[in-house]
Structure 1
Amino acid sequence: MTSSMPATKRTGLLTLALAVAVANVSILQTLVVPVLSMIAQQLDTSLSAVGWALTANLLAAAVLTPLLGRLGDVYGKRPVMIAILVTVLIGTVIALTTTSLPLLIVARVLQGSSYGLFPLAMSVLREQLPPARLTMSMAVVSATLGGGGVVGLLGTGLLTRGGGDYHRPFWLGLVITVLALILCWFALPHHVRDKQASTSVDWLGAGILGVGLVLLLLPISQGADWGWGSPQTIGCFIASAVVLVGWILAERRIKQPLAKPSLLARRAVMLPNLGGLFVGFGMFCAFLTITNFAETPDKLAGYGFGASVLSASAIYMLPGGVLGVVLAPLIGRFVQRAGGNQALLVGAGLGLVGFLGMVGWHDEPWEFIVFGTFAQLAVSFGFATLPALLVAAVDPADTGVANSVNSIARSVGSAISSALIVALLESNINPLTGFPKEATYRIIMILGAAAFAAIAVIGTIGIITGNRDRRPDPKAAEEQAQAYAGEFAEVSGVR
């Protein structure tokens, strides 16, 4: 970044770098989904074994995200984000070159560290941007989470068209990771760390939280194979509850905790986290419903459109993904002017229209595309709105951890949604066609609508109780933004 670069260009470059980095999170998450059966076939293993390529990625994300957020607070956002991208790059190279399932799972664990980029990106934006630009930039960066997933699906469809090697989609991940690394290297500012700031990292708290989250997510992702009533499934859920309660008790006794229990219990923080849970649930309801339904051959099942992986991504998913990214600045303006909870209500309304519309009208492709786009836009609204609500609820020093917990909530919601949908589809196979019954998809669509109905309730509660929640002083926020800008100017040689 040169000293002569205007502030608006620096802001634009920073937002672009963070958007590409965050998009890479969802690209890496989704690009393996369409090729799981291909991986199982080419590695000569079972589909349930290959499923660990998804499970390991999710577990790594749950364990690493809060710890990486804290490391960013202690050592600076730039070095931690660069280290994450280098780790993801190593994992992607391993995934590209290995023919071993254990090594592929290791690669997916390394790629799981990418989930820490989103909360760190939100913290960087809050530190570097004035309040007038903050909400819009957060909306743009957040929207790339949904758009990145569509890019991952579309890229996988293109790279595996007509069969081929399962390694090909990872080339897309490699290119985006390298691009994000280059952009972040030049765009992320160097911070002069405050010598009076705490340098302690709550490793014990991070370990306990990681164990609790693994015990929670593991049975959610493997419950269909283990059996939902099996001893290991029930035992993991019970153990998770015990460990997480123990984590809360331990955090209350630690001087510099990983996450303050009092912060997480604050209504203005708890509501966005509940919203994140339901947004994650609704996102996978939309993603799995649209792709699986569109790919179902209508001549055999009596419903669906017989789309390929490529056409399901390009025709049925891409419009909603692109529209969400394009409208992100407008969503940001709406959040800034109307308020986060009001925007959450609008997004919930779009989700209800989308999912209930798909319940009633899914015989023609255009109907499914239109209502599916509404559902995807609802997810974009959620991604764009939740960080703004958290920024309004916490002090700057707590931005990273608050967004980290919100990311975990979305991951838990996504895991619950995917596990539930897979269980519903597998348990309701029509013996005459070999495909899930059409009514099963209606149930999934209704579940998606229920998730956004819950988001509407959360937004309403936020509106009613918002005036009683503590909000940061706008003048103090402006002064802090100016202080960060001055610090950046000194480090970058502007003055």
Structure 2
Amino acid sequence: MTSSIYVLKLSGTIQNLSARESRETPMPQERKGGTLVAVLSLAAMVVSLMQTQAVPILGLIAGKLGTSAANAGWVTTATLLSAAVMTPLLGRVGDQFGKKRTLLAVLALAVAGSAVAAVAGSLWLLLAGRALQGAATAIFPLALSILREELPPAKLHGAMAVVSGTLAFGSGLGLVVTGLLTQGTDPDYRIVFWFSTVVAAIALGLVAARVPATGHRGGGRIDLLGALTLGGFLVLLLLPLSQGNAWGWTSAATLGCFAASALVAALWVAVERRVAAPLVDLAMFTHRPVLFTNLAGMFVGFAMFVQFLGVSYLAQMPEFTGYGFGASVLRASLEFLLPGTIASMLAAPLGGMLVGRSGPRHTLVVSSGIGLMGYLWLIAAHGTPFSVIVAGILVGVSVSFAYASMPALIAASVPHHQSGVANGINSISRTVGSSLASAIFTTLLTSNTLKNLPPGAPELPAESGFTTAFVIAAVAYAITAAVALFGLRPAHAPAGLRGEAVKEPAAV
């Protein structure tokens, strides 16, 4: 709030009255900031809601559409691949041509994709809807860019933390709502997508009405060749991660995709070095704070998804296995996942306060310590619901703190006109981590199964698969702490960034 709001040369009586009124009544700018954060938080929640809502109902989708479980797995893969291609591109479009109009377009795609998925009577049409939903991932970097342009520095970290916290909350909410909506003897998966249609439509209307259209616009042309090569690299990387368990990790398809991704990555670097206005400024991409923040994002995304998958599957294991709780999908969501989801949302403002007081680097260290404690607890004592729930709460808080720190690290390291694409790539780094988690977790559970099961029982994973997954997630948090302590040291911006980035010494 600036001193120019008041006329400071008035008489002492009126000046005192004005001061008293300023303490008692929120100023329009403050109300505007609170409304902006609330609207963008809802919009960001759409991202994670759409990413996780289909995970618990893949078997239901396969049954309703008369297809195999392997084919139904493409329902999540389609969203993943679309996000990989569209997120950095749409982040750059927002930087160049206006973030509000780009955000509105992305939300419109999310509404359309959800509606298509809801009415789809075939797998191909459902995949088309899920691909459109994948574009929603770009909402998050666009929302952070708008906050950076519209809010004063004193309010920025807290606002970014709250908006970032809705990602973890939305991921858990997607699982919980799906469990609630698909109860009964004859559940219909389509109602899940109708729910996301309504949420996305509400977010679209609120963004149109409440988000200002001001801000920086870089202008210029879109680097289509850079977008194609970056998208190709990410697709070729994420495709075998999502399908490798079905294809076989040593199959020609899996190894061929990994090899091709390396070649296309080299091509992308060559293209970006020769383009006058590249999609991704390589100086920004390799700038140490940005590079290590993206690395941290990958490990945090990995740890978060292991918790979602691990706790959900662990809770649903039959009691005769000797380690499961025999929970239904609904009970697993409400009893075991919802507490951590709520904790992550409540911790978001605390994460913003910690970022403001100690800096995002130290906040990331604290986050890693809390997450490591959660997984150590889960490794040592996952035999009771209480232990699993408490460990989940610790992981939820850690994810919220990490998500609060990473946007601040990015904001302190890149100029305004690169905020969208920089946050977009950070979002993709978390997506890569989540894909790795899914691939490793699935492989661990299918490679070591229980013996001497009761007659007629399906093949079930051994407890060691869960324990190993939790150990790997704990290592991921330990690496994140090392990245924050030793990688995110204060460093000078490269020539392309010097003088333009936000000056926040505590950020790195």
In 1: Cα distance, 2:322 partner to 2:503 partner: 58
In 1: Cα distance, 2:447 partner to 2:472 partner: 17
In 1: Cα distance, 2:78 partner to 2:27 partner: 42
**CA spacing shift, 1:251–1:467, aligned 2, 3 Å:** closer
Q: Choose the corresponding residue for 1:235, options 245, 250, 256.
A: 256
- For the residue of structure 2 that corresponds to 1:393, the secondary structure is coil
1:189 is aligned to 2:226: no
In 1: Cα distance, 2:287 partner to 2:95 partner: 21
Letter in 2 for 1:396: H
Q: Choose the corresponding residue for 2:203, options 167, 180, 203.
A: 180
Contact 1:356-1:449 within 8 A present in 2 as well: yes
In 2: Cα distance, 1:126 partner to 1:251 partner: 26
Deviations 1:364-397 (A, max 9, x none): 1111110121112211111111111111111111
| Structure 1 segments unaligned to the other structure (5+ residues) | 479-495
Contact 1:68-1:80 within 8 A present in 2 as well: yes
- For the residue of structure 1 that corresponds to 2:490, the secondary structure is helix
Q: Choose the corresponding residue for 1:445, options 449, 467, 470.
A: 470
Letter in 1 for 2:156: L
Corresponding residue of 1:157:
179
| Structure 2 segments unaligned to the other structure (5+ residues) | 1-25, 454-458
Q: Choose the corresponding residue for 1:85, options 104, 107, 113.
A: 107
Deviations 1:278-335 (A, max 9, x none): 011111111111111011121x211111111111111111111111111211110101
Corresponding residue of 2:247:
226
1:322 is aligned to 2:342: yes
Q: Percent identity?
A: 43
Letter in 1 for 2:78: A
In 2: Cα distance, 1:148 partner to 1:388 partner: 21
Q: CA deviation at 1:474?
A: 11
In 2: Cα distance, 1:124 partner to 1:198 partner: 16
Contact 1:268-1:469 within 8 A present in 2 as well: no
In 2: Cα distance, 1:475 partner to 1:154 partner: 40
1:402 is aligned to 2:422: yes
Equivalent runs, 1:140-151 vs 2, <5 Å: 140-151=162-173
- For the residue of structure 2 that corresponds to 1:303, the secondary structure is coil
Deviations 1:249-281 (A, max 9, x none): 110111100001111111111110000110111
Letter in 2 for 1:413: G
Letter in 1 for 2:258: F
Corresponding residue of 2:237:
216
Contact 1:131-1:477 within 8 A present in 2 as well: no
Contact 1:279-1:451 within 8 A present in 2 as well: yes
**CA spacing shift, 1:419–1:192, aligned 2, 3 Å:** closer
1:356 is aligned to 2:379: no
Corresponding residue of 2:442:
422
In 1: Cα distance, 2:35 partner to 2:368 partner: 32
Contact 2:216-2:416 within 8 A present in 1 as well: no
Letter in 2 for 1:71: V
Equivalent runs, 1:60-209 vs 2, <5 Å: 60-163=82-185, 164-191=187-214, 197-209=218-230
In 1: Cα distance, 2:309 partner to 2:68 partner: 21
Letter in 1 for 2:236: L
Contact 2:365-2:484 within 8 A present in 1 as well: yes
Q: CA deviation at 1:476?
A: 7.1
Taking structure 2 as the reference length, the TM-score comes to 0.90
- State which structure, 1 or 2, has the greater radius of gyration over its C-alpha atoms: 2
Q: CA deviation at 1:477?
A: 6.9
Corresponding residue of 1:457:
482
In 1: Cα distance, 2:206 partner to 2:31 partner: 13
Corresponding residue of 1:56:
78
In 2: Cα distance, 1:330 partner to 1:462 partner: 24
Equivalent runs, 1:347-386 vs 2, <5 Å: 347-386=367-406
Deviations 1:51-103 (A, max 9, x none): 00000100000000011011111220111111111111111111111111000
Q: CA deviation at 1:472?
A: 7.9
Deviations 1:230-267 (A, max 9, x none): 11111111110011111011101111000011111111
Deviations 1:204-227 (A, max 9, x none): 100111111111111111111111
Taking structure 1 as the reference length, the TM-score comes to 0.92
Deviations 1:167-223 (A, max 9, x none): 1211221121111111111121122765xx432110110011111111111111111
In 2: Cα distance, 1:6 partner to 1:221 partner: 48
Contact 2:414-2:500 within 8 A present in 1 as well: no
Corresponding residue of 2:490:
466
Q: CA deviation at 1:125?
A: 0.5
Equivalent runs, 1:258-277 vs 2, <5 Å: 258-277=279-298
Corresponding residue of 1:482:
none
Deviations 1:378-434 (A, max 9, x none): 111111111111111111111111111111111111111101111111111113233
Deviations 1:433-476 (A, max 9, x none): 3311011110000011011001000111145x226567987997
1:387 is aligned to 2:407: yes
Letter in 2 for 1:338: S
In 1: Cα distance, 2:452 partner to 2:56 partner: 25
Letter in 2 for 1:270: L
Contact 1:424-1:440 within 8 A present in 2 as well: yes
**CA spacing shift, 1:75–1:198, aligned 2, 3 Å:** closer
In 1: Cα distance, 2:500 partner to 2:278 partner: 27
In 2: Cα distance, 1:459 partner to 1:473 partner: 24
In 2: Cα distance, 1:384 partner to 1:110 partner: 27
Contact 1:392-1:472 within 8 A present in 2 as well: no
Deviations 1:8-52 (A, max 9, x none): 111111111111111111111111111110110111110000100
**Aligned-pair RMSD on alpha carbons?**
1.8
Letter in 2 for 1:385: S
Stretch deviating more after TM superposition (421-430 or 136-145): 421-430
In 1: Cα distance, 2:430 partner to 2:271 partner: 24
